[in-house]
Amino acid sequence: MKRLILIALLIIPFSIVSNAQIKFGVKAGITSTSIKVDEVISITDQTDFDELVVKGKNAKVGFQGGIFSRITIAKLYVQPELLFTSASGEVEVTSLLGGTEVVSEIRDQKFRQIDFPIMLGYKFGPARIQAGPVGTIVLSTDPSLDGFMGMDYEEEFNGATWGYQVGVGLDIGKKLTIDVKYEGNLSKLANGVKIGNETLDFDSRNSQFVASLGIFF
């Protein structure tokens, strides 16, 4: 009996793999990114202002592209992706002195990053639903506070963050696939900011909608 169980345990994984359908492809799409931040930063070593108020404003359009694969077993699938993303969003930065506004500007915050979502999905004919984690490695940024009122400023971004994606998809024939997803953040994008000689807490997160077109090889 033990031998039969052992043989079954060895055969089942090979049977599942042999019945799996594996595809590879390339994809590209557009993103709509919103910066989620609502922070008041107190400053002690500036003479022109003593507080900065940073608030997320309008979403902006970016792009992403890369490679992906899909492993399908019956109606279930796993879809890992490796994507380069260039995204940006608007924030409003206001300086205050004694509670009185000094300067207020709408500024862009830009990111260039590598995203690697792993989507788990279920197929309804050509239609799909999916969800899964997404890891992000930030390559470079253009911070929103950089150069504001001539500040000596440095933002301490996390090198890697984690988030999640949920969405729907549609397969057109055997070659084309469309995905529409929402992405939220599970960890902070920034640990803090350094203004002059001060290092201060600063919590910045972003969310985005992604629409992409993929082509299977």
Confidence at 5, pLDDT banded by 50, 70, 90: very low
> May I ask the CATH class of domain 20-216?
mainly beta
Express as a percent the part of the chain with pLDDT over 90.
Answer: 39
For residue 117, give the H/E element and its range: strand 100-124
Neighbours of 93 (CB within 10 A): 20
Extents of the domains making up the chain: 20-216
> Could you tell me the CA-to-CA distances from 183 to 71, 136, 173 in Å, in that order?
22, 11, 27
Measured CA to CA, the distance from residue 75 to residue 157 in angstroms comes to: 40
- Please state which of the ranges 7-21, 25-39, 142-156, 196-210 shows the lowest mean pLDDT: 7-21
pLDDT in tens, 140-178: 877 777 777 766 666 666 667 889 999 999 999 989 999
pLDDT in tens, 100-154: 878 888 888 888 899 999 999 999 999 999 999 999 988 887 777 777 776 666 6
Measured CA to CA, the distance from residue 105 to residue 21 in angstroms comes to: 52
Helices (H), the chain: 2-19
Whole-prediction pTM = 0.77
Q: Tell whether the model's pLDDT for residue 45 goes beyond 80.
A: no
Structural contact between residues 73 and 36, judged by C-beta atoms closer than 8 angstroms: no
Q: Tell whether the model's pLDDT for residue 19 goes beyond 80.
A: no
Q: Given CA atoms 79, 81, 85, 91 in this order, what sign does their dihedral have? A: positive
Q: How many CA atoms lie within 13 A of 21 on its CB side?
A: 8
Nearest to 116 by CA among 140, 83, 70, 138: 83
Tokens 């004919």 -> residue = 125
Residues 6 or more apart in contact with residue 97 via CB below 8 angstroms = 48, 49, 50, 51
> Could you tell me the CA-to-CA distances from 211 to 54, 65, 73, 205 in Å, in that order?
28, 11, 25, 20
